Structure 1
Amino acid sequence: MVEFSSNSTGFLRQQGFDLPLEGMYAAFLFATLSYLVILFCNLSLMATIIMNKSLHQPMYLLLFNLPVNDLIGSSALFPQLIKNILLDSGYIEVSNCITQAFFIHMYALGSILILTIMSYDRYIAICSPLRYGAVMTNSHVMKIIVTVWLVDLFLVGALISLLLRLPRCRSFLTNPYCDNPSLLTLVCADTTVNNIYGLFITAIMQVLAVGTILFTYLQILLACFKSKRPDTKSKALQTCATHLTVFLLLECLGLFTIISYRIKHLSPHLRRMIGVSTFIFPPTLNPIIYGLKTKEIRQKIKLPFRKMVYP
């Protein structure tokens, strides 16, 4: 097997944002604050679920994986991005670039898989409430979670392995971060197998995820309209709206990023901004949306602050 770094130096140069000095200060401040907000929001949601035994239920065990995945994606991007802005350097070691690409793709694929299994959980809870306790046991949920992470690890591992077998003859990345499409532009060999595999994963995941979520939400909406209890209908519709908002946000940003690689005349600045926004908005909004929209989590988060104000 030919190593990806064998034919050139051990460093790659990443495309920056081409900002003036004042813009660099603003970019550094924005990136740092964004990362801190993402860390605070997601760690707070994780801590709330961990510390409250009443939340150790299937729905929240599945939800716990969303902030974990968001932290993987944001931590893969922001430390290196902040370092490049601070040092005004776009250089990154090949090994670090490969690692960054691996975790970025783990985040992207993991987001789709986690939201899909969360929609399945809500489908069982709302459409078959009497069977929910028997079907979605904690042990069954843990098996689903382990399966999701193993599938994510296997598919992304195969993607990166296919990349590592190819020789590299260029060292300039057109993105401010490393991912598979950007790294393939550095290769001086036939990338047909890589492109087919990448498109295959994307197509299969889109069909499975979108198909599953459309089916489950349609079934949930039908169950809501048939229900004669207004409180059940309202709670179910609120749950649907929360999941659908998060999923559509991720889908729109992800599809724009994928399509941007195929549009040669698209502004490189717009392409870079769309790509980076995928690691800013979902990881920031996910814990806020679920924290505000989920009554049980909202109450648990408010409790420590109430104790601080009214000891």
Structure 2
Amino acid sequence: MLNSAFSTLSYLILGAFVDVGTLKYFYFMLTAMLYIVIIITNTSLIVVICMNRSLHEPMYLFLVSLFVNELYGSTGLFPFLLVQIISDIHNVSAPFCFLQIFCLYSYANVEFSNLAVMSYDRYLAICYPLQYHTRMTTNKAVILIIVIWLYCCVRFLITLSLNIRLTLCGNIINSLYCDNYLVAKLACSDVNMNNIYGLFSISLSILVPLVLILFSYMKILKVCFSGSKQTRQKAVSTCTPHLASLLNFSFGCCFEILQSRFDMTSVPSVLCIILSLYFVIIQPLLNPVMYGLEMSKIRNTCKHVLRYKMFVCRRDTK
């Protein structure tokens, strides 16, 4: 009974794709360009942080985890999306569908948990600047990152194992990719255990990080209002990219929930596509730009690397 979803259906149909004729080649090129930009920008910042020893601090280690997760989530979507755009038949095998569900949902869980821990890191740096390096060491940061990834992957493996055992009575999902909620809606077997665990899992995935984020920023705001101008400037410079990333990802997840769980027939199809893909496209594009431009150490390191490369190129051409 464990493999009911695999045995009852060999494939699922993605019903959100429509025939766009020769425009599919334009969409293919546009999607491919977005994926290439995401790979280049996120990989570049990972390399910059890893290669520069002055950036081997907890805050930048959390950023590396964030950028790695952007690459992971994008890879879970874009290659599959590119194949579907160029194809005339939008079928996906059941095993691959569940694999994509695991990738996208674990990506979303790691992203939110990582942002929550980063808010706590900023709280320690701003509220306890003299004790920061004892309260948040590099080893502690590495342990937190490992715990985040293991916890999110194991938690969703349980969700996935519960869904795999379901007997599906349909094979059409109205989405551009495999969605856990939409696949579960196809079930004609008992889903009570799935619903109970789903509520418990969502509570852990959202409430715990949210409490940590709210606690951290309440403390940061308290210090800002009572602290010096220099303290406020430090808080703004270090928290602005994090807050922007957090709000952008939260909006993206809300868009995806609205698109998949409510009737959107009255909404233009283009807008529905944007809503469903926002959280896994805009976030990986936005994060490298925000952190690369706003954080002076990363920005200065990137400038130094570019200047060095230009110097080497000029020297070689002489």
Please state which band the TM-score falls in when normalised by the shorter chain.
Answer: over 0.9
Give distance in 2, aligned partners of 1:96 and 1:265: 27
Distance 2:85 2:138 in 1: 44
Cα pair 1:217 1:240 within 8 Å, conserved: no
Partner residue, 2:315:
none
2:190 counterpart SS class: coil
3-state SS of paired residue (1:13): strand
Task: Indicate if the aligned counterparts of 1:113 and 1:209 stay in contact, CA closer than 8 A.
Answer: yes
Post-superposition offset of 1:53: 0.9
User: 2: CA distance between counterparts of 1:209 and 1:23?
Assistant: 42
Q: Secondary structure at 1:12's aligned position in 2?
A: strand
Q: Considering only aligned residues, what root-mean-square deviation do their CA atoms show, in Å?
A: 1.7
Q: What SS is found at the alignment partner of 1:280? A: helix
Are 1:305 and 2:306 an aligned pair? yes
Q: Which moved more, 1:117-126 or 1:134-143?
A: 134-143
**Aligned ranges 1:182-193 → 2 under 5 Å:** 182-193=182-193
Gaps of 5+ in 2: 313-318
Equivalent residue number for residue 21 of structure 1: 21
**Deviation at 1:238?**
2.0
In structure 2, what is the equivalent of residue 234 of structure 1? 233
Counterpart of 1:275?
A: 276
Alignment deviations for residues 224-263 of structure 1 (CA, whole Å, 9 cap, x no partner): 23222x3332121122221111001100110121133332
Q: State the 1:155 CA deviation.
A: 1.0
Q: Which residue of 2 aligns with 1:139?
A: 139
Query: Which is worse superposed, 255-264 or 156-165?
Result: 255-264
Partner of 2:254: 255
1:242–1:55 distance in 2 versus 1, CA, 3 Å: same
**TM-score, with normalisation over the residues of structure 1?**
0.94
Residues 102, 179 of structure 1: 8 Å contact kept: no
Aligned length: 309
Say whether 1:6 aligns with 2:12.
no
1:129 aligns with 129
Cα separation, 2, equivalents of 1:268 and 1:5: 34
- Whether contact under 8 Å (2:17, 2:90) holds in the other structure is no
User: SS where residue 2 of structure 2 aligns?
Assistant: coil
Structure 1 position 116, deviation (Å): 0.3
Superposed displacement of residue 91, structure 1 = 1.3
Structure 1, unaligned runs of 5 or more: none
Which amino acid in 1 is paired with 2:243?
L
Query: What is the CA deviation profile of residues 105-141 of structure 1, one whole-angstrom value per residue up to 9, with x for unaligned ones?
Result: 1101111000000001110111011221111111111
What is the one-letter code of the residue matched to 1:92?
V
Shift of 1:190: 2.3
Paired letter, 1:80: F
CA distance in 1, matches of 2:16, 2:145: 37
Residue deviations 1:63-96 (CA, integer Å, cap 9, x gap): 1110111111110011011011122331111111
- Deviations 1:194-216, CA, capped at 9 Å, x for gaps: 23322332233322222221221
Name the SS for the 2:280 alignment partner. coil
Alpha-carbon contact 1:14-1:177 (below 8 Å) kept: yes
1:212 maps to 212
TM-score by length of 2: 0.92
The superposition leaves residues 143-188 of structure 1 with CA deviations (integer Å, 9 ceiling, x where unpaired) of 1111111110111111101101111222212111012112112322
Give 1:122's aligned amino acid: R
* 1:57 shift after superposition: 0.8
Q: Which residue of 2 aligns with 1:62?
A: 62
Separation (CA, whole Å) in 1 of partners of 2:142 and 2:308: 33
Q: Runs (4+) of structure 1 moved beyond 6 Å?
A: none
Matched, 1:41 2:41: yes
Distance 1:187 1:79 in 2: 28
Q: Secondary structure of 2:33's match?
A: helix
Which whole-Å CA distance do the structure 2 matches of 1:283 and 1:182 have between them?
24
Residue correspondence of structure 1 range 149-228 to structure 2 within 5 A: 149-228=149-228
Contact 1:221/1:237, CA 8 A, preserved across alignment? no
Shifted more, 14-23 versus 296-305: the winner is 14-23
